[in-house]
Chains A and B, each alone.
Chain A
Amino acid sequence: MVHQLATAVAQGDGGWIDFNVPLLVDRFWSNTVDGLAYGSVYALVALGYTLVYGVLRLINFAHSEVFVVGAFAAYFTLEGLGFRPGPTPQLSTLSIVANLLLAGAVAMIASGLVAVVLERVAYRPLRRRNAPSLVFLITAIGASFVVQQLFFVTRGANPERAIRILRPRPLFEVFGAKVTNIQIIVLVAAVALWVVADGFVNRTRLGRGIRAVAQDPTTATLMGVNRERVIMLTFLVGGVLAGAAALFYLMQIPQGVVYNGGFLLGIKAFTAAVLGGVGNLRGALLGGLLLGVAENYGQSLLGGAWRDVVAFALLITILMFRPTGILGESLGRARV
């Protein structure tokens, strides 16, 4: 990063943290716009962590791989449709929409199925035997590695070259910051998906089943709720949302998907879930968007190398003052 602008030095001369306040001011609005668009990816993935935590009191650390499966699925779909890495082709709007929808649908189905299979293979047998919660953590990490290494072995260590079918084009400006077509699509679609997920959990019979299991599993069973089916449904919903997030991720990152691409993103999405209040659907959305924006501000203020540090420093700071996250844990207690 070029420091042509005046910099404030934190620790006197030769300090190792430079606070580049002018750059932050300069890029404030573009950082905000970019952060919201990228943060909506975190938000959708965070929903998966939060839903599963709500019904099982378990952080599904294999969820990051569910996301990667979605990214590869979207990539292979576009490849299968005849698109190749390189210059973005000229396509009609209809063709772009159709192809994106198709890639998104395949990604959602693939992620949803993998999430359900992971639950069945890695968690259900343990639940049947009443294993302690630490064991679930280990199998989650194990399952995570298995999926990751499958992609490593078959696709190698280098990121795929990105396949693009939609050219980024500025649509309008917010306080001088350009907002692109891609950012609008991603933001609108992510919020729409969140609204659907929220409506599903809060207003449908199956959603009530999810909330019942989250709030009181034994009584839920006494009311005729099949807990195993609710757990499966929860993993499915979380997986489907992660698949959609994967497509939005591919539309925004400079390179293509890579075998371990879920690791950092998964941890950030988990951070977003905790930040907003794990087990809380609104918290996942808020946490995701907030994290996306905050790490952009941090990058401008402190330099690119500090991006991830800012994300986690924010998490630690908020948890020191509000251990339940900004909105608190609520799938289990109050109305979501």
Chain B
Amino acid sequence: MALLELSDVTVHYGRIRALSSVSLSVAEGEVVTLIGANGAGKTTTMRAISGILPLSSGRILFDGRDISRLRADLRVVRGICQAPEGRGVFPGMTVRENLEMGCYTRKDRKNVAADFERVFALFPRLAERRDQAGGTLSGGEQQMVAIGRALMARPRLLLLDEPSMGLAPRFIQQIFHIITEINEQGTTVLLVEQNARQALSRAHRAHVLETGSIVRSGTGAELLADPSVKEAYLGVA
């Protein structure tokens, strides 16, 4: 059974339809990626899954239960946590406090120390900067905070929205490497990316979004080899 399942999800911004009948699923242990151009509906999909945007129709199942109308904060309790587009680092909180926000809903306080260690092991840079304000970090460091913070929730499903956006190339490599590592440690990942080559090469399965609809689906390798994907998203003529 799929951990996450979207069926015929439609979302509107006012009168504008941003997603039309999107269906996709993510199985436990997978990395699934959504690629597409700006405005294709990638972030809208993520926001709908997290509950920031209401559905016009369709439904979302998580772990077999309908969460379509569940309040956003309670979806975190169920095990969905997102590192949002633009990182959403709390500028006036230290790195440590930002990471603490990841365990806002957690009841098992005694395991939190171990999770801090895990995040600091994944991102040694954050350990060095733990008392620095989030607003003073570089873009790459903020991205580490955003991912680390989501991990602190011990999510069953980690949503990553454009983790490579605006980063220097060496950071991009590092972030993708860490995504694979996180997945190998047992966390299911749904990844939204513009950096299609990297995303596809690390994903078990992938979907291509165009103007609010899924136009192609397959394994990461299949889509990497697909001529139309190559032309549109991988910069190969």
User: Does chain A bind chain B?
Assistant: yes
Chain A residues with CB under 8 Å of chain B are 205, 208-209, 211-212, 215-216, 218-227, 330-336
B232 near A: Cβ within 8 Å?
no
Check if B84 sits within 8 Å of A219, measured CB to CB: yes
Check if B91 sits within 8 Å of A223, measured CB to CB: no
B63 near A: Cβ within 8 Å?
no
Whole-angstrom CA separation of A212 from B98 in the bound complex: 9
Chain A neighbourhood of B133, CB < 8 A: 334-335
Whole-angstrom CA separation of A220 from B76 in the bound complex: 11
3 closest A-B pairs (Cβ-Cβ)?
Answer: A224-B76, A219-B88, A224-B105
Check if B72 sits within 8 Å of A332, measured CB to CB: no
Check if A225 sits within 8 Å of B104, measured CB to CB: yes
For B152, the closest partner residue in chain A by CB is A223
Chain A neighbourhood of B149, CB < 8 A: 223
Chain B contributes a number of interface residues (CB within 8 A of A) equal to 28
- Annotate B137-157 by CB proximity to A: 1 below 8 A, 0 otherwise: 000000000000100010000
Identify whether the interface residues of B are mostly helix, strand, loop, or mixed: mixed
Whole-angstrom CA separation of A331 from B100 in the bound complex: 18
- Annotate B40-55 by CB proximity to A: 1 below 8 A, 0 otherwise: 0000000000111000
A178 to chain B, nearest CB (A): 42
Which of B52, B77, B100 lies in contact with A222, CB distance below 8 A? Answer: B52
Whole-angstrom CA separation of A330 from B135 in the bound complex: 12
Check if B71 sits within 8 Å of A332, measured CB to CB: no
B148 to chain A, nearest CB (A): 12
Chain A neighbourhood of B50, CB < 8 A: 221-222
A255 to chain B, nearest CB (A): 42
B218 near A: Cβ within 8 Å?
no
Check if A215 sits within 8 Å of B91, measured CB to CB: yes
Check if A330 sits within 8 Å of B105, measured CB to CB: no
Check if B72 sits within 8 Å of A334, measured CB to CB: no
Chain B neighbourhood of A215, CB < 8 A: 90-93
B8 to chain A, nearest CB (A): 24
Check if A334 sits within 8 Å of B100, measured CB to CB: no
Chain A neighbourhood of B115, CB < 8 A: none
For A214, the closest partner residue in chain B by CB is B92
Chain A neighbourhood of B104, CB < 8 A: 205, 208-209, 212, 223-225
Whole-angstrom CA separation of A42 from B93 in the bound complex: 28
Check if A226 sits within 8 Å of B88, measured CB to CB: no
For A331, the closest partner residue in chain B by CB is B92
Whole-angstrom CA separation of A334 from B94 in the bound complex: 9
Check if B92 sits within 8 Å of A211, measured CB to CB: yes
Chain B neighbourhood of A224, CB < 8 A: 73-74, 76-77, 81, 104-105, 153
